């Protein structure tokens, strides 16, 4: 590698100078890697991210080891043991990071290039024990290529223990490359070795390999391209995933290759090439991280206007980049005057908004608003832009809620004052008391809303009692007139309630027509009282019949839960998801011995392995998605096939015009039984065992092997591969 001719940059760049006289690119890059510490560019979540990935790795290896048979048990054990050691080491690393630099957000973890090689090693360890049986069905040359890739990946991962193994990894991957020069997966990993492995660092070769990997993967990511299934291009970020050559995944791999190519060009000092490749990385994966890196390379290339625009947008999408520039002051973009101006503008803007909200909070008569104003005052000196923005948005929502609450209270106060001022509504109401109540109500507007609620309710009740007494006083108002006013009051209240009510079948137009009819009734006089009563009875019947309530058929099923706003809830299908099947099961009872019983059901729960489902009410939808994603697959030769688990049956079910059904959580399932919408009653035989077992699966698990069911009188658990009944629900 030839020396680089010294040159003077046009702007501040104070942590890596590849143009230093007498220095080679590789020497300069190695110095750069040593100088950048994990503390400076790491984030507290880097350790947590790798820890999570490693834990998923253990589960993945366990599952694959079971599937491919006894022949791989020893290899599986060794891999798991190695991975566990990695987890412990990374846990310690994560703790150190958290103690040293806890304020830096996880969004900044990508800045640390030294950790990239470890992440790559974690990503591909899922592939070590996967898809071996498929090799029996492919040509010898392909077997040899796959074998070379597997060996290369094994050495790549094990290089965590001994960096000399990078040499073996490179040798095997280059053999695979010789057999198929267009495998972007292999090209990408070779590029990683040339960019990150200290003994093999060659930025020029890394750039070449990443560009080739990006070229081939970008072509196959085109919707019209013909894609060849490659078992090694699975989603290596998720354990036990199916073979996935989707356009989206290919685009992500393409983006990653372009992004690393851009960094390699950056290392070589070819900033124009870095910009071109990072532009493509952002095109294929337009996330804030890629836009942030693009702005960085544009600064180095002198494209200041474009760099500022991209940096501005990246910060808008992820405010933590603002903190990265301010706190990690040796980033090359930190010294740019345009950057300083942009950051100052954003900081001034948010400070002005904070000041505006402080004034707004002080106008609201509330103890809580005073506390919010005090919090906002302290927020002005907060150093972290991301925290300042997050807290401001939260307080804005609280202020809006407080303002609405205050307006409602003021409206109620004005209503009562206007009622007292309208002398036509009363005849014998005590004048002195009337004035006293008006003054008391007016005074409530000048105190905190929290202190005004109780006195307002007391005064309103006092006025109501006095008005009712006034109406009955010495026959001033005849009975019919009293009833007429009461009826009008009921109609007015009904109009208000209709606007807050959810209806099952009435359209919005029909509801508005009903409201119009009711309003017309309030405009009639006493002579039409009889017509008003009869018409209101008819309208009220229509309203009650169609009003959303428990037990009615609505949104494809039977309503068994309605939330506090009265407009959202849950429905259960009126019957099970399919015809039940019978199967015999041998049960070993600790007292009764071995018995064979006949069980009925529709499906099993899913595959083994804890996936993190919950028993809580309202968690059924998320539980179902987790089961479908992680526990509803059967292993095949070249791919994983969907398994008809209880959760998958629900998500693929089309019933009464709806396709968003899911498996209820345990507490949701219990409520369905309590409301009587599942009426199966288990029967016991003379031996004490159930002759019939109408056990219904919930989407809640106990552990990796057992899940919860409910039978109408008790909850229990059984292995996930057992069959049980399935009743689907959906939300509206």
pLDDT in tens, 56-66: 444 544 454 44
As a whole number of angstroms, the distance between CA 711 and CA 697 comes to 9
As a whole number of angstroms, the distance between CA 380 and CA 387 comes to 11
pLDDT in tens, 543-592: 888 888 888 888 889 999 988 887 889 999 998 887 777 777 666 666 66
Contact status, residue 662 vs residue 642, Cβ threshold 8 Å: no
Closest CA relative to residue 290, chosen from 299, 301, 277, 302: 277
As a whole number of angstroms, the distance between CA 103 and CA 327 comes to 10
pLDDT in tens, 432-479: 888 888 888 888 888 888 888 888 888 888 887 777 666 554 444 455
pLDDT of the residue at 411 = 86
Q: Is the pLDDT of residue 83 over 50?
A: no
> Cα Rg for the chain, rounded, in angstroms?
35
Contact status, residue 194 vs residue 202, Cβ threshold 8 Å: yes
Give the mean model confidence (pLDDT) for residues 27-31.
59
pLDDT in tens, 697-724: 999 999 999 999 988 777 889 899 888 9
Judged by average pLDDT, the poorest of 95-99, 118-122, 495-499 is: 95-99
**Selection from 371-385, 457-471, 658-672 with the highest mean pLDDT:** 658-672
pLDDT in tens, 119-163: 666 666 555 544 544 445 556 777 788 889 889 888 888 888 888
pLDDT in tens, 300-340: 898 999 989 999 999 889 888 888 787 765 566 777 888 88
Give the mean model confidence (pLDDT) for residues 102-129.
54
45/124 same-domain check? yes
Would 314 be classed as within a structural domain?
yes
As a whole number of angstroms, the distance between CA 502 and CA 719 comes to 41
3-class SS string, 266-313? HHCCCHHHHHHHHHHHHHHCCCHHHHHHHHHHHHHHCCHHHHHHHHHH
Give the mean model confidence (pLDDT) for residues 14-37.
49
Q: How many domains does the chain have?
A: 4
Judged by average pLDDT, the poorest of 241-255, 274-288, 414-428 is: 241-255
Q: Is the pLDDT of residue 286 over 80?
A: yes
Cα–Cα distances (Å) from 575 to 347, 420, 726, in that order, read 58, 57, 9
pLDDT of the residue at 379 = 85
Give the mean model confidence (pLDDT) for residues 409-427.
78
Q: What is the mean pLDDT of the chain?
A: 76
Among 340, 369, 393, residue at a domain's last position? 340
108/236 same-domain check? yes
As a whole number of angstroms, the distance between CA 64 and CA 75 comes to 11
**Where does the pLDDT of residue 40 fall: very low under 50, low under 70, confident under 90, or very high at 90 and above?**
very low
pLDDT of the residue at 649 = 93
pLDDT of the residue at 107 = 43
CA 719 to chain centre: 29
Q: Which string of b and e fits 247-268 if b means at least 16 CB within 10 Å? A: eebbbbbbbbbbbbbbbbbbbb
Q: Name the DSSP class of 664.
A: P
626/695 same-domain check? yes
Would 667 be classed as within a structural domain?
yes
pLDDT of the residue at 247 = 76
How do strand 553-554 and strand 557-562 relate by DSSP bridges?
A: antiparallel
Would 563 be classed as within a structural domain?
no
Give the mean model confidence (pLDDT) for residues 72-82.
40
Closest CA relative to residue 147, chosen from 179, 192, 119: 179
Domain that includes residue 203, residue range: 28-340
Among 531, 547, 563, residue at a domain's last position? 547
697/629 same-domain check? yes
94/15 same-domain check? no
pLDDT in tens, 609-649: 899 999 999 999 999 999 999 999 886 555 678 889 999 99
Would 234 be classed as within a structural domain?
yes
278/314 same-domain check? yes
Angle at 459 (CA atoms; ends 456, 460), nearest 5 degrees: 80
539/676 same-domain check? no
Q: Is the pLDDT of residue 691 over 60?
A: no
Would 294 be classed as within a structural domain?
yes
Q: Is the pLDDT of residue 430 over 80?
A: no
As a whole number of angstroms, the distance between CA 333 and CA 65 comes to 48
3-state class (DSSP) for residue 731: strand
Q: Is the pLDDT of residue 289 over 60?
A: yes
84/141 same-domain check? yes
pLDDT in tens, 153-211: 888 888 888 888 999 999 999 998 998 898 888 999 999 999 888 888 899 999 999 99
Q: Which string of b and e fits 357-366 if b means at least 16 CB within 10 Å? A: bbebbeebbb
CA 674 to chain centre: 31
8/123 same-domain check? no
Taking residue 35's Cβ as centre, other Cβ atoms within 10 Å add up to: 11
As a whole number of angstroms, the distance between CA 19 and CA 301 comes to 14
Q: 446 or 36, which is more confident?
A: 446
Task: Name the token pair of 319.
Answer: 């405010």
Would 360 be classed as within a structural domain?
no
pLDDT of the residue at 656 = 92
Among 313, 340, 367, residue at a domain's last position? 340
Would 471 be classed as within a structural domain?
no
Largest CA distance in the chain: 112
What CATH number is attached to the domain comprising 42? 1.25.40.10
3-class SS string, 532-543? HHHHHHHHHHHH
Percent of the chain with pLDDT over 90: 19
178/64 same-domain check? yes
15/126 same-domain check? no
249/268 same-domain check? yes
Q: 483 or 520, which is more confident?
A: 520
Beta bridge mates, 24: 3
Would 644 be classed as within a structural domain?
yes
Contact status, residue 275 vs residue 93, Cβ threshold 8 Å: no
């Amino acid at each position: 590698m030839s020396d680089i001719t010294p040159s003077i940059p046009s702007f501040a760049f104070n942590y890596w100078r590849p143009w230093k006289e007498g220095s080679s690119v590789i020497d300069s890059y190695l110095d750069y890697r040593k100088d950048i510490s994990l503390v400076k560019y790491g984030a507290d979540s880097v350790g947590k991210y790798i820890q999570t990935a490693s834990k998923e790795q253990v589960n993945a290896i366990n599952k694959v080891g079971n599937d491919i048979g006894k022949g791989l048990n020893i290899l599986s054990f060794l891999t798991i043991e190695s991975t566990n050691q990695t987890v412990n080491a990374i846990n310690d690393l994560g703790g150190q990071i958290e103690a040293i630099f806890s304020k830096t957000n996880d969004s900044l973890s990508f800045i640390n290039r030294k950790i990239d090689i470890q992440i790559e090693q974690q990503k591909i360890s899922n592939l070590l024990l996967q898809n071996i049986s498929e090799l029996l069905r492919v040509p010898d040359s392909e077997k040899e290529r796959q074998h070379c890739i597997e060996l290369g990946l094994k050495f790549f991962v094990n290089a965590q223990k001994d960096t000399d193994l990078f040499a073996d990894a490179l040798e095997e991957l280059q053999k695979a490359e010789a057999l198929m020069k267009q495998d972007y997966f292999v090209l990408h990993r070779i590029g990683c070795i040339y960019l990150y492995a200290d003994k093999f660092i060659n930025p020029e070769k890394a750039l070449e390999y990443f560009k080739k990997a990006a070229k081939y993967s970008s072509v196959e990511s085109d919707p019209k391209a013909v894609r060849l299934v490659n078992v090694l291009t699975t989603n290596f970020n998720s354990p036990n995933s199916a073979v996935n050559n989707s356009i989206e995944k290919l685009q992500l791999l393409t983006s990653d290759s372009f992004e690393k190519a851009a960094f390699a060009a950056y290392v070589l000092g070819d900033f124009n090439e870095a910009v071109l490749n990072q532009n493509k990385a952002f095109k294929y994966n337009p996330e804030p991280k890629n836009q942030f890196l693009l702005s960085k390379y544009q600064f180095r290339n002198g494209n200041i206007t474009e760099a500022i625009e991209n940096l501005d947008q990246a910060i808008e999408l992820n405010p933590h980049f603002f903190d990265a520039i301010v706190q990690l002051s040796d980033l090359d973009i930190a010294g740019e005057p345009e950057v300083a101006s942009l950051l100052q503008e954003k900081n001034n803007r948010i400070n002005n908004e904070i000041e505006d909200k402080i004034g707004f909070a002080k106008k609201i008569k509330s103890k809580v608003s005073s506390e919010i104003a005090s919090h906002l005052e302290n927020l002005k000196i907060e150093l972290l832009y991301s925290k300042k923005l997050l807290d401001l948005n939260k307080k804005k929502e609280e202020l809006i809620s407080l303002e609405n609450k205050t307006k409602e209270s003021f409206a109620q106060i004005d209503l009562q004052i206007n009622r007292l001022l309208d002398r036509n509504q009363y005849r014998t109401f005590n004048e002195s008391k009337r004035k006293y109540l008006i003054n008391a109500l007016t005074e409530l507007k000048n105190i905190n809303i929290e202190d005004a609620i109780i006195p307002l309710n007391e005064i309103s009740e006092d006025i109501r009692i006095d008005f009712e007494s006034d109406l009955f006083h010495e026959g001033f108002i005849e009975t019919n007139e009293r009833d007429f006013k009461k009826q009008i009051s009921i109609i007015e209240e009904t109009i208000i309630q209709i606007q807050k009510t959810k209806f099952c079948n009435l359209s919005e137009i029909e509801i508005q027509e009903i409201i119009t009819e009711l309003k017309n009734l309030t405009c009639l006089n006493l002579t039409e009282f009889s017509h008003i009563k009869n018409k209101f009875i008819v309208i009220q019947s229509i309203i009650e019949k169609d009003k959303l309530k428990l037990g009615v058929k609505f949104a494809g099923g039977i309503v068994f839960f309605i939330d506090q706003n009265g407009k959202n809830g849950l429905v259960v299908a009126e019957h099970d998801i399919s015809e039940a099947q019978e199967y015999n099961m041998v049960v070993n009872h600790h007292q009764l011995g071995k018995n064979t019983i006949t069980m009925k059901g529709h499906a099993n729960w899913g595959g083994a392995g804890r996936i993190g489902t919950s028993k809580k009410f309202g968690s059924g939808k998320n539980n179902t998605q987790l089961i479908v994603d992680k526990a509803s697959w059967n292993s095949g030769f070249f791919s994983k096939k969907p398994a008809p688990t209880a959760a998958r049956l629900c998500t693929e079910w089309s019933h009464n015009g709806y396709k968003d059904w899911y498996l209820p959580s345990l507490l949701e399932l219990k409520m369905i039984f309590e409301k009587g919408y599942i009426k199966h009653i288990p029967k016991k035989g003379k031996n004490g065992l159930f002759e019939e077992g109408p056990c219904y699966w919930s989407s809640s698990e106990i552990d990796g092997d057992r899940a919860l069911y409910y039978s109408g009188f008790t909850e229990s658990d059984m292995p996930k591969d057992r069959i049980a009944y399935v009743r689907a629900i959906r939300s509206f």
